Amino acid sequence: MEIVLMLLILMVILIMINVPISYSIGIVSISYFFIKDISLLTIPQRMFSTINTSTLFAIPLFLLAGMLMNKAEVTDKLYHLAFTLIGHIRGGLAHVNVLSSMMFASMTGSAMADIVGLGTVSATAMEKKGFKKTFAAAVSLSASTITPIIPPSIILIVYGVVAEVSIGRLFLAGILPGLAIGLILMLYIYLASFKKDFPREKSRASFGAVVTAFRHAILPLFMPVIILGGILLGIFTPTEAGAVAVLYVLIIGFLVYKKLTVKIVIETLKEVAATSSVILLLISISGILGWIITIEQVPVLLTDSLLSLTSNPIIILLLINVIILIAGMFLDATPIVLMLVPVFMPILLNIGVDPVHFGIIIGVNTMIGVTTPPVGAGLYAISGALKINVMDVIKEMLPMWGALFVVLLIITFWPGLSLTIPNLIFGK
């Protein structure tokens, strides 16, 4: 246990001095092998066994589908539909920003795809209508947390592999929590609009305008029906669903909207290859650290220590939430899941927490981490895209973080919000 603690401290120091996360994990893992005099041949074996599952193939496929949708300008059609539906409500385009993210969430599992695509478009439109640029950025950033919760979700795929939980159940479990995040954010926007007098449309869109916008967006909106319907009916696996999603986007992008070209697809494939290779490298290297943590019996020791202090599930869940939130300030979602799930799962099973429920808890936690300093990738992505100061965005994010924390507590202590739909479909 002492060796693992020293190595984890070393890893934190390496990350804080800007050593890439995968390198940091690799360095401390290799150090353990030298300290314990274990054959280095174990390293490639553990790396390969960690990623040797077809489920992980879904990650590059859903990334590709999301990026192609941005390139095919599908996001514009979703945004316009959201605008015609709720642009007239007090708070105007801020509500539209959140609703369009909820729609986009049902088609891609990446928060970053939402931020650099739809989020930037929505924030720019809000600024043109008279919203503060920093507030618009904060709305886009907070709304992006919905994207990996409403299915399909890349982080839930990673969690499902690590925790050996049904991806189908996890996808269904994310529906109501994702909607809850969107509704809480919209409630905050609505209440804040009375004090800040946010601009809004003077009149409601006509029925004809709504019908036209819906007609233009019907094909993208049909995509989540295909994905979830195919998985639930047993027509294809989550990995195959990713391939179907890519094929569907290619068809509508080339033949219907005619925004995709062979050149764009090739460039997008290169981007996806670079991004997914980083993710899979991180997963494989984290598998070594997970193996070290397991053979050192860290989960057992931590479970005994924590349960010796308290057996109250509420306090334990609060402590775990705090730990994950702090980790999210320094680490991306994937390494958090890979490192903490094996540690916390025995504790959670001991107090009766459903692994599917915990998947949504850690998913929301890690997505909040995408928005928080000092390392939050989404925070810097939206600030860079809109050319604004990070600190100004942070100031606008403060009440929105409050709203996100409220949703996190609701999700944590109301398991039914996550488990109702999967239990109805698959049974308890």
Question: By the 8 A CB rule, do 393 and 382 touch?
Answer: yes
Give me the percent of the chain exceeding a pLDDT of 90. 22
The two tokens of residue 371 are 């928005």
Q: 403: buried, middle or exposed (CB in 10 Å: 19+, 13-18, 0-12)? A: middle
Average pLDDT of span 80-84: 87
The two tokens of residue 63 are 């990334």
pLDDT tens digits along 214-257: 888 888 888 888 888 887 777 888 788 888 888 998 999 899 88
Higher pLDDT, residue 298 or 284: 284
Output the pLDDT for position 375.
Answer: 67
Average pLDDT taken over every residue of the chain: 85
Torsion of CA 28, 333, 44, 240, to 10 degrees: 180
pLDDT tens digits along 89-118: 888 888 988 998 888 877 776 777 777 677
Output the pLDDT for position 287.
Answer: 79
User: H or E segment at 198?
Assistant: none
**Residue 291 to residues 4, 11, 167, 218, 297, Cα–Cα distance (Å):** 11, 16, 23, 46, 10
CA 119 to chain centroid, in Å, comes to 14
Q: Residue 400 and residue 402: Cα distance in Å, rounded?
A: 5
Confidence of residue 175 (pLDDT cuts 50, 70, 90): very high
The two tokens of residue 22 are 């995968």
Give me the percent of the chain exceeding a pLDDT of 70. 98
- pTM score of the predicted model: 0.83
**CA-based nearest residue to 347, from 414, 289, 302:** 302
Ordered by start, the domain boundaries in the chain are 1-40, 55-426
| pLDDT above 90 for 307 | no
pLDDT tens digits along 337-383: 888 888 888 888 888 899 999 999 999 999 998 888 866 778 878 88
Q: Classify residue 381 as left (phi > 0), alpha (psi -120 to 50) or beta.
A: alpha
The two tokens of residue 147 are 């994207």
| pLDDT above 70 for 152 | yes
Give the 3-state secondary structure of residue 141: helix
The single-letter DSSP state of residue 56 is G
